[in-house]
Amino acid sequence: MKHIHINFNIRELLMRPAKTEPLAFLRIATAIVALAELLLLSSHWKDIYGSHGYIEWVISSNLFSMPNLPTMAGISELLNREVVSNDMIMYSLLGLYIVSLSLMMLGFKSNIMAFFSWLLHLTINNSANMYGYGVETFIHVSLFYLIFMPSSSHWAISKHPETTTTKIYANLLLTILQIHLCIVYLNAGIAKIEGDDWTSGEAIWRAVAQPSYSQVNMFWIAYMPWLSFIATYLVLLLETAYPLFIWFRLSRIYWLTGIILMHAGIGIFMGLYAFSAIMTVLNISAFGWSYIENVAKYARGRFAWSGKNKLAFKEYIH
In this structure, the number of other CB atoms found within 10 A of the CB of residue 112 comes to 14
> HEC string of the chain?
CCCCCCCCCHHHHHHCCCCCHHHHHHHHHHHHHHHHHHHHCHHHHHHHHCCCCCCCHHHHHHHCCCCCCCCHHHHHHHCCCCCCCHHHHHHHHHHHHHHHHHHHHHCCCHHHHHHHHHHHHHHHHHCCHHHCCCHHHHHHHHHHHHHHCCCCCCCCCCCCCCCHHHHHHHHHHHHHHHHHHHHHHHHHHHHHHCCHHHHCCCHHHHHHHCCCCCCCCCHHHHHCHHHHHHHHHHHHHHHHCHHHHCCCHHHHHHHHHHHHHHHHHHHHHHCCHHHHHHHHHHHHHHHHHHHHHHHHHHHHHHHCCCHHHHHHHHHHHC
pLDDT at 11: 67
Closest by CA to 283, choosing from 268, 266, 300, is 266
pTM over 0.85: yes
pLDDT at 9: 65
Distance CA 123, CA 94 (A): 10
Distance CA 20, CA 163 (A): 10
Dihedral Cα 36, 38, 40, 43, nearest 10 deg: -160
pLDDT at 211: 82
Closest by CA to 145, choosing from 11, 291, 25, is 25
Residues of the chain with pLDDT under 50: 1-2, 4-6, 313, 316-318
225-240 and 249-270 helices, crossing angle to 10°: 130
Dihedral Cα 116, 119, 121, 127, nearest 10 deg: -140
Q: Is 220 exposed, middle or buried (0-12, 13-18, 19+ CB in 10 A)?
A: exposed
pLDDT at 307: 54
Q: What are phi and psi of 289, to 5 degrees?
A: -65, -35
Distance CA 262, CA 252 (A): 15
Angle at 186 between CA 181 and CA 189, to 5 degrees: 125
Distance CA 250, CA 227 (A): 28
Q: Which residues contact 255 (CB under 8 A, 6 or more apart)?
A: 238, 241, 242, 245, 246
pLDDT at 229: 96
Q: Give the domain ranges of the chain.
A: 16-160, 163-318
